[in-house]
Amino acid sequence: MDKPRLIAVDDELEMAAMIAEIAEMAGFESEVSSSAKALLDAEAECRHDVIVIDLFMPDTDGFELINALANRGCTATIIMVSGYDKTLLKGAGKIAEANGLNLLGTLTKPFRLDDVEALLRKAID
């Protein structure tokens, strides 16, 4: 059986790499992207089972990415992360769900390793 595929999209490459490393420990094949625009330009979202999205990025923010993924009929499971207000993150999650995306959960930065692992295990189940 093929490993599930994950991409972490965050302008902070260290953060994306950390999420990707946790995903690999949980049994995923993973990669990182420092830009939502690069993800969309490469149409890479279609190749992944899980997409971890930072809500605020310089080139294209998470809200724009949510809309683009919904417009493309993305079937990947979505995990949203942000270092900003939890209320804003929850609101973005509701927007993702309202647009038909499969939101698995949200994480507030800084997050605990256990929280990331728990969400990723849910994605596999």
For 69-121, what is each residue's pLDDT tens digit?
A: 999 999 999 999 999 888 989 999 999 999 999 999 999 999 999 999 999 99
CATH of the domain at 98: 3.40.50.2300
Separation CA 79–CA 123 (nearest Å): 10
Range of the domain at 41: 5-124
What is the pTM for the complete model shown?
0.93
Total domains in the fold of the chain: 1
Q: Which amino acid is at 116?
A: V
Task: Check: CB of residue 96 under 8 Å from CB of residue 66.
Answer: yes
* DSSP summary character for residue 125: -
CB hemisphere CA count around 107 (13 angstroms): 25
Separation CA 79–CA 98 (nearest Å): 15
pLDDT band at 64; cut points 50, 70, 90: confident
